[in-house]
Amino acid sequence: MHHQDSLPLPAQRLLMTELDYIFDLHLSGQRQGPGSPESTRKALSFIDLDLQSKLQIADIGCGTGAQTFTLAQETQAAIVAVDFSETFLAELNRRAKGLGYQDRIHTLQSTMEELPFESDQFDIIWAEGSIYNMGFQKGVNSWKHFLKPGGYLAVSELSWLQPKMPAAIESYWTQHYPDIQLPSGKIKILEEEGFQLCGYFPLPPTDWMDHYYLPIEERMPAFLERHHHHETVQKIALQEAEELAHYQKYQDYYSYGFYVAQKV
């Protein structure tokens, strides 16, 4: 079996799916979704545990580990960083080694639906911008079993900021993420699933623009060039540009909400 990199370019392109291209676009980015070290630390501030004790944390949908490293900086926890992408995890391991965290951060390649964890295994389950892959309610329902009683769930999730919004942005997000709701709807789900809300805040615009969209814009020309402006990469570039344009126009109406809740 040939390693993909050793194949001539046309053959590589045949092997690459849209998902492979998306991984490639995001691989060199600090983060794969809106967020910032400040927001990770703010969410952590709602958690009433001794962060310098030997806590167990699962970071689900970790990407290349932006928030994983902030969690490692702010705690003495053992962290399991979980992602579906082997490529992202390899990059996370490389960065962890550079930062000296390889003894406390362990990676696990797994889908969210098939996590091999024990009941009551973790003190904290963390998921920035990733629970949407399962759906909010399904994710909360599934993951709560892995939390110790009194453990914490911290997730950022696409949420409306106002009860009424322009039709254009409402239809855009209803089409792309039908689960989008007001924070009150997400909090109700958490309560129904046996959690008590400890903190909520929306991510500020800098978490979207400075930490996510602008770095993508900077990487885009090289990404298009690297893949010879293949039609799939052009499609991805258009989708990214459309999403950015929507955010710039309608950022008063939606953001990621960060929800921190304790298992009762």
Per-residue pLDDT reduced to its tens digit, 174-205: 999 999 999 999 999 999 999 999 999 999 99
Whether the Cβ atoms of residue 26 and residue 83 lie closer than 8 Å to each other: no
3-state helix, strand, coil in the chain (%, to 5): 50, 20, 30
Residue ranges with strand state E in 64-194: 78-83, 105-109, 122-128, 147-160
Is 140's pLDDT higher than 50?
yes
**Which of 2-6, 25-29, 189-193 has the weakest average pLDDT?**
2-6
Q: How confident is the model at residue 12 (pLDDT cuts 50, 70, 90)?
A: very low
Q: Nearest 5°: CA angle at 249, between 248 and 252?
A: 90
Per-residue pLDDT reduced to its tens digit, 38-86: 999 999 999 999 999 999 999 999 999 999 999 999 999 999 999 999 9
* For range 145-163, the mean pLDDT: 98
Distance CA 11, CA 84 (A): 24
**What length does the chain have?**
264
Distance CA 131, CA 59 (A): 11
pLDDT at 16: 80
In which region does residue 247 sit, left (phi positive, over 0), alpha (psi from -120 to 50) or beta (all else)? alpha
Mean pLDDT over each residue of the chain, to the nearest integer = 94
Per-residue pLDDT reduced to its tens digit, 90-125: 999 999 999 999 999 999 999 999 999 999 999 999
Whether the Cβ atoms of residue 81 and residue 108 lie closer than 8 Å to each other: yes
Residue 112, phi then psi, degrees to nearest 5: -65, -30
Is 213's pLDDT higher than 80?
yes
Distance CA 196, CA 211 (A): 30
Is 166's pLDDT higher than 50?
yes
Is 8's pLDDT higher than 90?
no
pLDDT at 15: 64
Q: Which residues have C-beta within 8 Å of that of residue 83, sequence separation ≥ 6?
A: 61, 62, 63, 89, 92, 107, 109, 110
* For range 233-250, the mean pLDDT: 97
Q: Residues of the chain with pLDDT > 90: what percent? A: 93
pLDDT at 9: 42
Amino acid letter, 151: G
